[in-house]
């Protein structure tokens, strides 16, 4: 027997010109504002990393200091005009996974005074 799930009702709604209404959407994120070209580059970096290190390797746990160090190093290479690899994309990957790690593996946060 299938159990029905109820839709959460925020009661705060926005109304469209058509008369349709919808929840306000505050604190849910604005996915329509994401820079999709950058997100695509991040996906490419994830794909190449999966080939090199195995899928979901980083989810096993990389200390945040290592991710931040790598991000800053890649930004430094980018700022110095190095074109030997996609440094800006690599910096974004490291920052993205530092955020992921902080939220999902807080025990990997090893930066003193943080």
Q: Which residue has the tokens 């999902």?
A: 104
What residues does 15 pair with on adjacent strands?
21
pLDDT at 9: 67
Q: Does the reported pTM lie above 0.75?
A: yes
Q: Is the pLDDT of residue 3 over 80?
A: no
| Per-residue tokens: 24 | 């306000």
pLDDT at 22: 87
Q: By C-alpha distance, which of 28, 29, 37, 30 is closest to 10?
A: 28
Q: Which is more confidently placed, 64 or 15? A: 64
CA dist., res. 25 & res. 29, Å (int): 8
pLDDT per position as a tens digit, 45-90: 999 999 999 999 999 999 999 999 999 999 999 999 999 999 999 9
pLDDT at 1: 59
| Per-residue tokens: 10 | 């925020």
């Amino acid at each position: 027997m299938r159990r029905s799930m109820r839709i959460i009702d925020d009661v705060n709604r926005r109304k469209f010109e058509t008369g349709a209404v919808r929840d306000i959407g505050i604190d849910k994120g604005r996915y329509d504002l994401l820079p999709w070209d950058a997100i695509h580059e991040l996906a490419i970096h994830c794909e190449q990393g999966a080939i090199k290190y195995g899928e979901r390797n980083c989810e096993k746990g990389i200390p945040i200091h290592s991710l931040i160090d790598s991000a800053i190093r890649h930004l430094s290479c980018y700022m110095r005009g190095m074109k030997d690899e996609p440094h800006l994309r690599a910096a974004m990957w490291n920052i993205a996974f530092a955020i992921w790690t902080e939220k999902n593996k807080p025990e990997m946060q090893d930066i003193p005074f943080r």
